[in-house]
Structure 1
Amino acid sequence: MASPRVFWPLVIGLLLSSITLAGAAVVTYDFNISWVTANPDGMADRPTIGINGQWPIPTIRADVGDELVVKVFNGLGNQSTSLHFHGLFMNGTTHMDGPSQTTQCPIPPGSSFIYRFKVQQPGTYWYHSHTHGQYPDGLRGPLIINDPETPFKDLYDEELVLTVSDWYHDEMPGLLSFFISKANPTGAEPVPKSALLNETQNLSVPLESGKTYLFRMANIGAFAGQYIWFEGHNMTIVEVDGVYTHPAEATMIYLAAAQRCSFLITARNETSNFPIVASMDTDLFDVLPEDLNYNVTGWLVYDLKEPLPDPAEIYEFDPFDDMTLVPWDNQTLLGEPDQTISLDVIMDNLGDGANYAFFNNITFVAPKVPTLYTALTSGETATNPTVYGEYTHPFVLDKGQIVEIIVNNIDPGKHPFHLHGHNFQAVWRSEDEAGTFQDSNVTADSFPAIPMRRDTIVLRPDGNIVLRFKADNPGIWLFHCHIEWHVQSGLMATFVEAPLALQAELEVPPDHYAACAAGGVPTEGNAAGATKDLLDLSGQNVPPNRLPEGFTARGIVALVFSCISGILGVAIVAWYGFADFGNEGKEPAAAQSEGVKGGDQRPASSGADSVAAAGGEGDVISTEGERRG
């Protein structure tokens, strides 16, 4: 018989354990992913990827500590798929992270797959396909992890979820086929047709005077960053990307693709209604099509009987600077890095004439064997980055390392970079056109003592960023730009974190291997599928060849003909100008003034246009809590 000294601690431990287990739940969702028809901007019906015959797709909800089970059946018929739960660390379950050919095989049509993992982070997240640029076709939705112990629980009365997104009228396979082709040598990204709030337009959000609301907002779009503001109301930011922050006041925020922000808004003692405006960052677009609906307007509705006013026009954007946020836990700057990874963002053409995105000199190409399965089947060689293939751009991290990522933007565009499996300390971000970090005079002395922390950050045009995180989560984690066009054109790297620990701890479920078998994807060996000589990468998937140095014979011929054509063109214009066509005495037609492109040079409201385009009364957001499955 156990002594009282041993017995009572044992009993107390069992009781506490039972209390903990009683507080957790298994939250299950059954998803049949299939095609539906949608027309959220009122401009065109189009095939859209829905779940259980519905679009927009369901919001996933769970509490901290719950086990989340998502059972997926791929009913698309013509495409493989996968789900990534954006921002969740997947501690101990890297095989549930979702990127095809990285942590799993794509789920073929007609196949099933189960995602099962414990949620340990509170906050605002989202889930989306991570296969073949698929999620802009509709497979994207909010994921909310409720925290009964949130430090802000006494500051608000109700919670609302808002998404902002961009919308294309054409399906992604066709858009991608043109985007990465010699017909588009400059790499100009397809411009979306419309902006959406909660995957619709003319959204009404009912408020009650005197109440305070927690708004959870996520940009689930493919490309456009968005400026967001609520006329007549300030926002008090309390969370970004799942990280609680000390409250910070803002009148306007900027959410890049994949970023999230939670904020408090206190309703006024009013009967008037106020516009909500989301305006796409048109500086990202190479062209501004005439039919581009770059703004979307919704309304904070205090009284349904009152009119819904048009937004006021603004000509300059001044969003809150997220780098000034301070995490609620006051985590101090991580120490000197054990490993520094320096990445230069470059856009360039390859031998097929198409434009690609590169980190340094490498454009990402998926391996034949998913990287996780290579790590699990390579024995001691798993610590050698060579086995993962040159074009997955792999970096092997030791467990517990402090890792520093320096990203230099050798490109005039903005890039929102996302890290899987971790959030990071954003210890430095330069202004536009600052050049490389290495060429700057910035030292670690300039880094903040308590850096802002999140999982997605915007790199400015021709600027640089410095990020730090601790490698405390063994797994296979991507680091990539979250503009979906740049993901598909190769702007990704792979972090292989503590692969030997993965071999000792991880067990992949049979249904994951079954999806591989159904799709004919190998699950052993290096990136090329070799199982004997793991350092032999013969036959690995590769990008198109590099362009030759200098001019080729074909290039010289093309240049000569281009010059001749140019000279002939100038001659024809000159002849036309001096020719007499019998128009003496007639006045020339008045020239039309050109519109000015740029976020600070055009009105940022088009409420009336949005109403006309939608052709309906819009949707009403519910303030009632949803029941978990």
Structure 2
Amino acid sequence: MFTYLLPICLALCQTVLSKTLIYDWDVTWVWASPDGFGRPVAGINNRFPCPPIEATVGDRVIVNLNNKLGNETTSLHFHGIYQTGTSAMDGPSGVTQCPIPPGASFTYDFVVNQSGTYWYHSHNKGQYIDGLRGPFIIRDAAAPFKFDEELTITLSDWYQGQAPDLINYFMSAANEAAGGSEPIPNSALIGDTQNTKFNVKPKTTYLVHVLNIGSFVGAYLKIDGHEMTIVEADGVYTESQAVDELYLTVAQRYSVLVTTKDDTSQNSAILSTLDTSMFDDFPPWANPDVYGYLIYDSSKSLPPVSPLRDYNVFDDFDLIPQDRQTAFTKVDEQIMITMNFEDDDGINRAIVNNVTYIPQNVPTLYTAMSAPKDVVMNPLIYGVNSNAFVLKFNQTIEIVLINLDSGGHPWHLHGHKFQVIARSPANTTYEASAIHPPQTPMRRDTILVYTGGYIVLRFQADNPGIQLFHCHIEWHVEAGLIATLVEAPDVLQDTQSIPHDHYQVCKSQNIPTKGNAAGNTQNWLDLTGANTNISTNDYGALVNPPKRKRRSRVMRSLSNQG
């Protein structure tokens, strides 16, 4: 009897103790030098690094966002947050909202009924490359492990050039003629700076939240002389797994337990390096190494450091969820996706099933909310270039993603944590007969698919809304490596709404909020006027981009990175 009542009592106590957390944030330009090179970065309330969001399971989070950048639109996505019942708060521009123009305000309002390590970032035309990003930590009094204190360590790549110019060059014919490579980051950061110091106490167990908030490459992490024990991955509690090093693709997170030493006579080094195997070339000005320090005694000197080059990482496929959820065995719908890149009239574009993603005239959520019942489940109304798949409520979905590209890609699913049923080695052909689901598959929201390989993912479509499924390399997002999962739009219409201030942001920019992808409200199957052409002069989030490509200025920006 008491065993049965305990979860109910805990849930009731959590509801009573829940708080409303209000963040009043101005998005502003800040002059900062994260790696020693000064430049404008996108910050919050004239500060950089951006502040963390810290909540407890059951809390209501309200972010009042004011765009004071002056020259760019913006948005915020809360990475890994399900947004159950609040799809309008997910944040990707052109998908669940309109971009927020300079001078406008926008309110995000949602409840967090999940725990773990998450983050927020602009989901607007590559903008978070310029720094609009930060940790989002959700605490849980019922966590299945014990610790004394907490630390948060963010890892990232960093560019000395600004995102609009870098995007413009990446998406140019000149870059495609040179091989179509992604811009190489100048440096690596810990805590959005370098040589970060973390004060620690001896004989203390820390829950360390580790996040890769970069825009391109994976990162390795090692704490000299300290073992790490993984207890959470992307918000999923795991069975304890001791490791010496971590590898995190862009957007992945871990919580690890680290117990400090008894001896305080020496401080300890934190070593991190970017995954340079993802670089198409390695220019001499690029520095992939960064260091931090556990400070036991501030009067003692910092320890000597050397670059991390011995990679000994645990395969995250072998992590076991603590709740032991078994693999879904009955698949109701299978989605087959191939991904690659192609030369599209001289521009390097990503393709999903041979179609590149292009934002539509009407944000996809607004199409779903305004569509008549007889067409809302028809993927055609969402536009050919939205790469839309319409899911039925509560069905078990299997995604088979086949990577035809010559590089690995971290794929992220909004609104869910998927079961990783299979991940092949590099350069392996997909064969359905070779798939043997593990009994308790790893779950997370971001997973690496290897070069020329495949992944098989499963989840239940129990969260009505618009869920992007995309590579989290920001250059590839801009190139169109995105699919759109329109999840139970019939249920969505009956259970959710879009706030008035969200509509007003669209109205102020003359962006339609009703109709199919083309904005047609008369004939929903007529897509005349829908966006099918790629931008040939893409300057990211700039409101008034140059009318002509200023290649000389872009090339100077790129060369200045050296």
Q: TM-score, normalised by structure 2?
A: 0.91
Structure 2 partner of 1:30? 24
Structure 2 partner of 1:229? 222
Structure 1 partner of 2:521? 531
Distance 1:544 1:212, change over 3 A: closer
1:299 Cα deviation from its structure 2 partner:
1.2
User: What is the CA–CA distance in structure 2 between the aligned matches of 1:389 and 1:267, rounded to whole Å?
Assistant: 54
1:86 Cα deviation from its structure 2 partner:
0.2
User: What is the CA–CA distance in structure 1 between the aligned matches of 2:433 and 2:371, rounded to whole Å?
Assistant: 43
Overall identity of the aligned pairs, in %: 48
Structure 2 partner of 1:65? 58
Structure 2 partner of 1:609? none
SS of the residue corresponding to residue 314 of structure 2 reads coil
* Equivalent residues in 2 for 1:134-283, closer than 5 Å: 134-152=127-145, 155-185=146-176, 186-270=179-263, 271-283=265-277
1:308 Cα deviation from its structure 2 partner:
1.6
Look up the equivalent residue of 2:206 and give its one-letter code.
Y
Distance 1:461 1:269, change over 3 A: same
Does the 8 A contact of 1:187 with 1:356 survive in 2? Answer: no
SS of the residue corresponding to residue 70 of structure 1 reads strand
User: What is the CA–CA distance in structure 1 between the aligned matches of 2:180 and 2:398, rounded to whole Å?
Assistant: 30
Aligned partner of 1:518 among 508, 522, 537: 508
User: What is the CA–CA distance in structure 2 between the aligned matches of 1:305 and 1:247, rounded to whole Å?
Assistant: 35
Superimposed CA distance per residue, residues 339-389 of structure 1 (whole angstroms, 9 cap, x where no aligned partner): 1111111111012x0111111211100010000010011112110000000
SS of the residue corresponding to residue 218 of structure 1 reads strand
Does the 8 A contact of 2:272 with 2:308 survive in 1? Answer: no
Look up the equivalent residue of 2:438 and give its one-letter code.
P
Structure of larger gyration radius: 1
Aligned partner of 1:88 among 81, 84, 87: 81
Aligned partner of 1:442 among 409, 414, 434: 434
| Bigger proportion of residues as strand | 2
Matched, 1:49 2:42: yes
SS of the residue corresponding to residue 184 of structure 1 reads helix
Structure 2 partner of 1:508? 498
User: What is the CA–CA distance in structure 2 between the aligned matches of 1:195 and 1:281, rounded to whole Å?
Assistant: 10
Look up the equivalent residue of 1:255 and give its one-letter code.
L
Structure 2 partner of 1:122? 115
Matched, 1:321 2:315: yes
Does the 8 A contact of 2:271 with 2:308 survive in 1? Answer: no
SS of the residue corresponding to residue 383 of structure 1 reads coil
Matched, 1:473 2:463: yes
1:47 Cα deviation from its structure 2 partner:
0.8
User: What is the CA–CA distance in structure 2 between the aligned matches of 1:544 and 1:38, rounded to whole Å?
Assistant: 33
User: What is the CA–CA distance in structure 1 between the aligned matches of 2:124 and 2:390, rounded to whole Å?
Assistant: 24
* Equivalent residues in 2 for 1:456-467, closer than 5 Å: 456-467=446-457
Does the 8 A contact of 1:107 with 1:519 survive in 2? Answer: no
1:544 Cα deviation from its structure 2 partner:
4.6
User: What is the CA–CA distance in structure 2 between the aligned matches of 1:17 and 1:120, rounded to whole Å?
Assistant: 11
Aligned partner of 1:484 among 474, 480, 491: 474
Matched, 1:382 2:373: no
1:500 Cα deviation from its structure 2 partner:
0.9
User: What is the CA–CA distance in structure 2 between the aligned matches of 1:240 and 1:18, rounded to whole Å?
Assistant: 27
Look up the equivalent residue of 2:173 and give its one-letter code.
K
Aligned partner of 2:406 among 408, 412, 415: 412
In terms of mean alpha carbon deviation, does 316-325 or 129-138 score higher?
A: 316-325
1:316 Cα deviation from its structure 2 partner:
3.4
Look up the equivalent residue of 1:500 and give its one-letter code.
D
Q: TM-score, normalised by structure 1?
A: 0.82
User: What is the CA–CA distance in structure 1 between the aligned matches of 2:180 and 2:143, rounded to whole Å?
Assistant: 44
Aligned partner of 1:494 among 465, 471, 484: 484
Structure 2 partner of 1:540? 530
Q: How many residues in Structure 1 have an aligned counterpart in Structure 2?
A: 526
Structure 1 partner of 2:543? none
Distance 1:349 1:253, change over 3 A: same
State the superposition RMSD in angstroms: 1.8
Distance 1:253 1:417, change over 3 A: same
Look up the equivalent residue of 1:492 and give its one-letter code.
I
User: What is the CA–CA distance in structure 2 between the aligned matches of 1:55 and 1:363, rounded to whole Å?
Assistant: 34
Look up the equivalent residue of 2:529 and give its one-letter code.
G
User: What is the CA–CA distance in structure 2 between the aligned matches of 1:16 and 1:426, rounded to whole Å?
Assistant: 30
Distance 1:360 1:16, change over 3 A: closer
1:318 Cα deviation from its structure 2 partner:
1.9
Structure 2 partner of 1:347? 341
SS of the residue corresponding to residue 490 of structure 2 reads helix
User: What is the CA–CA distance in structure 1 between the aligned matches of 2:403 and 2:412, rounded to whole Å?
Assistant: 15
User: What is the CA–CA distance in structure 1 between the aligned matches of 2:321 and 2:306, rounded to whole Å?
Assistant: 33
Superimposed CA distance per residue, residues 1-52 of structure 1 (whole angstroms, 9 cap, x where no aligned partner): xxxxxxxxxxxxxx9998554311111000011111110111x211111111
Does the 8 A contact of 1:219 with 1:258 survive in 2? Answer: yes
Superimposed CA distance per residue, residues 97-142 of structure 1 (whole angstroms, 9 cap, x where no aligned partner): 0000100111111111100001000000000000010001010000
User: What is the CA–CA distance in structure 2 between the aligned matches of 1:18 and 1:303, rounded to whole Å?
Assistant: 43
User: What is the CA–CA distance in structure 1 between the aligned matches of 2:119 and 2:468, rounded to whole Å?
Assistant: 17
Does the 8 A contact of 2:358 with 2:534 survive in 1? Answer: no
User: What is the CA–CA distance in structure 1 between the aligned matches of 2:308 and 2:55, rounded to whole Å?
Assistant: 39
User: What is the CA–CA distance in structure 2 between the aligned matches of 1:311 and 1:96, rounded to whole Å?
Assistant: 43
Aligned partner of 1:300 among 288, 294, 304: 294
Distance 1:544 1:198, change over 3 A: closer
Distance 1:416 1:19, change over 3 A: closer
Superimposed CA distance per residue, residues 194-248 of structure 1 (whole angstroms, 9 cap, x where no aligned partner): 1000001011112222111100011000001001111111100000000000100
Structure 2 partner of 1:396? 390
Look up the equivalent residue of 1:308 and give its one-letter code.
L
User: What is the CA–CA distance in structure 2 between the aligned matches of 1:430 and 1:350, rounded to whole Å?
Assistant: 29
1:184 Cα deviation from its structure 2 partner:
1.0
Does the 8 A contact of 1:63 with 1:146 survive in 2? Answer: yes
User: What is the CA–CA distance in structure 1 between the aligned matches of 2:353 and 2:379, rounded to whole Å?
Assistant: 17
5+ residue gaps, structure 2, are 1-8, 536-560
Superimposed CA distance per residue, residues 138-158 of structure 1 (whole angstroms, 9 cap, x where no aligned partner): 100000111111111xx2110
5+ residue gaps, structure 1, are 1-14, 546-612, 614-629
Superimposed CA distance per residue, residues 382-432 of structure 1 (whole angstroms, 9 cap, x where no aligned partner): 100000000000000000110001111111111000000000001111111
In terms of mean alpha carbon deviation, does 536-545 or 397-406 score higher?
A: 536-545
Distance 1:168 1:253, change over 3 A: same
